[in-house]
Amino acid sequence: MPILSLVNSNKSTETLTVTAGAKRVFQALFWQSRKGGLDEDTPRLRVSDMVSKMAFFYEKIRNSVDYREEALLSKEAISRILKRLLLIEGVFSFKKEAEPEKLAQSLLEELIRAGYLQNNKLPETKINEVAVIIHKFLVLRDLAQDRVAGSGRFFVGDEKITAKKKKKGLDDKSDLNTWLIGLMASEIEENLNENEATDAIVAVMYEVLSKAVKLPPELPYDRDLPIQIYLGICRNYLKLNDYYILSFVLFKYFNEDWQQPTTETVERVADRLDELKAAIDSQVEHPLTTHLNKVVHQYTVYFTILRDVINKDPKKAYNTLERDPAGFMRQIKEAASKRYQEAKSKLWKSAIRSIIFIFLTKSVLVVVLEVPAIKFFGEEVKMIPLLINITLPALLLFISVVLLRLPGDNNTAKIASGIEEVLYVEKSRKQPIVLRAPRRVAGRAISFIFNIIYAATFLLTFGFVIWGLDQLHFSWVSMVIFVFFLSFASFFVIRIRRNPLYWVVVEPPENFFTFLWSFVSVPVTATGKWLSGKFSKLNFLAFILDFIVEAPFKVLVTVAEEWTKYLKERKDSIS
């Protein structure tokens, strides 16, 4: 039923014509608001509420030691559970003889206990759907591994594996398992989170961007642009900026019949798996990504604010759109302002958590490491440097949050204008957005000069910091710890400011002071990012939880679940 039949037949006096894409967005959100739940008689997956509390609490602890974007938590949990069940516990052999149905049921029950899926809401038919996904990846893995063993190659293009790497062998199997489990987890996540309204919005957004974005004539990426636009929507609107999810999107793109593959399809994929992965990686790390992301991000803001307004009451919103376009745009601006305030609130919550984390960590390090190290090297413990070391990084983070300004009226006006472009035929973009050509790699001489300048900036920035600390009579141990936490705090600032800056579609003009600040702060922030990346790879606490704690804990949870079922059955038999 077209949405036009849902509104009164009074003719609008407006001369603006609603686009076909906008109508589809309204229709999709209207039907979503009318969509009911499952029939009462539908069999559903149910777990013990009491046991679920234990698993939910553990999952909170696990996520707290390994930062991930909220939209990726469910997929990461699926991947982690699959790795444990298939590779660590050895309960299910990663072979064709494995029982996908049992594995699927265990996976779904764990996701429900951990709070990623609602209890007693998921139909039992999902077990079979997930089992089908698992089965085809098990078959693909076995076929691919047989070919890898026979050819001596894995994900290395035309280059043969060296004798040393071939001797190790396990590295190649591990890489293959990790990649396929990542793809498997991504497809399962897609299956469990199907949303017709979101799919409709993504389709309309893709149409709008495909018409708006053009390449300069000198760029040879005409065939790549469509899939790059779609990947940009995944990264920005869907917030699925994850290597494995993007790889799965491309995996489907290169294998159109993968959703319901035949044996021949799986064999064909296995035959060219190394070539396929090379093609996928070239698209994930495409030269167009950087500039295209900026363009897609703007439209992400437009569609997100538009969805906020429509979701309140799709029918009423469409009436307002047709009869009172100015009134509808006022609602758009109000929704944008609300998003700004919510972002500011989240910013403060994130900042407070980060400040507490830095303050407590520094305090513990002072007692456990800094003071003993100073005494060990025969230096005098001084209170002022210790107090500065404890408080200054957290104070800098606090100041950076206080000084952050919310987007202004010009930003809101730009959002309103962008949404009008989506809504009305008469307001559609007249001039295309021509992507900038990727920056050419400078010649060796210029690159050498730039590297020298950057190195000099790095040394100058940290040299000035160390000189200042020396003037305050810091010991060299205190200096190292201060620089370490200053770099971390700088990177924390970038991370926690991301949410408010997400809604910025008008870049602020650069002046001499912002240029100077970037000049001196980039080395510190880059160091913080580098340290964060290194520590995330060496996250011993996450390793301990995943490989030592989680397996026996989940066995305990499963036993407790079975015990509650047994008690319930006994109780029912008595009554």
Instruction: Identify which of 314, 311, 308 has the alpha carbon closest to the alpha carbon of residue 340.
Output: 308
Confidence band, pLDDT 50/70/90 cuts, at residue 149: low
Following CA atoms 182, 185, 191, 194 in sequence, which dihedral angle do they give, to the nearest 10 degrees? -70
**Nearest-CA neighbor of 489 among 404, 363, 374, 399?**
399
pLDDT digits (tens, 9 = 90+) for 209-221: 999 999 998 889 9
**510 falls within a domain:** yes
CA within 13 Å, CB half, 258: 20
How many domains is the chain built from? 1
Task: Please state the rounded mean pLDDT for residues 419-438.
Answer: 91
In a domain, 494, yes or no: yes
Residue environment code for 163-193, b if the CB has 16+ CB neighbours within 10 A, otherwise e = eeeeeeeeebbeebbebbbbbbbbbbbbebe
Contact 288, 225 (CB under 8 A): yes
Q: Is the pLDDT of residue 70 over 70?
A: yes
Neighbours of 432 (CB within 10 A): 11
- Tens of pLDDT, residues 115-130: 999 998 999 999 999 9
| Distance (Å, whole) CA 104 – CA 116 | 15
Query: How far is CA 246 from each of CA 36, 75, 167, 271, 284, rounded to the nearest angstrom?
Result: 31, 12, 32, 22, 7
The torsion angles phi and psi of 434, rounded to 5 degrees, stand at: -90, 120
pLDDT tens for residues 87-141? 765 544 444 456 899 999 999 999 999 899 999 899 999 999 999 999 999 999 9
331 vs 314: CA distance, rounded Å? 13
Cross-strand partners of 188: none
502: containing domain: 341-413+443-525
Give, in order, the Cα–Cα distances in Å from 289 to each of 182, 183, 226, 296.
Answer: 22, 21, 12, 10
User: Which sign, positive or negative, has the C-alpha torsion 278, 281, 287, 288?
Assistant: positive
Instruction: Report yes or no on whether pTM surpasses 0.75.
Output: yes
374 domain residue, yes or no = yes
Examine residue 314 and state whether it is found in any structural domain, yes or no: no
Task: Indicate the average pLDDT of the chain.
Answer: 82
In a domain, 512, yes or no: yes
468: in domain: yes
- Per DSSP, the three-state class of 465 is helix
39 inside domain: no
pLDDT digits (tens, 9 = 90+) for 244-303: 999 999 999 999 999 889 999 999 999 999 899 999 999 999 999 999 999 999 999 999
pLDDT number for residue 442: 57
pLDDT bracket for residue 5 (50, 70, 90): very low
**Would 483 be classed as within a structural domain?**
yes
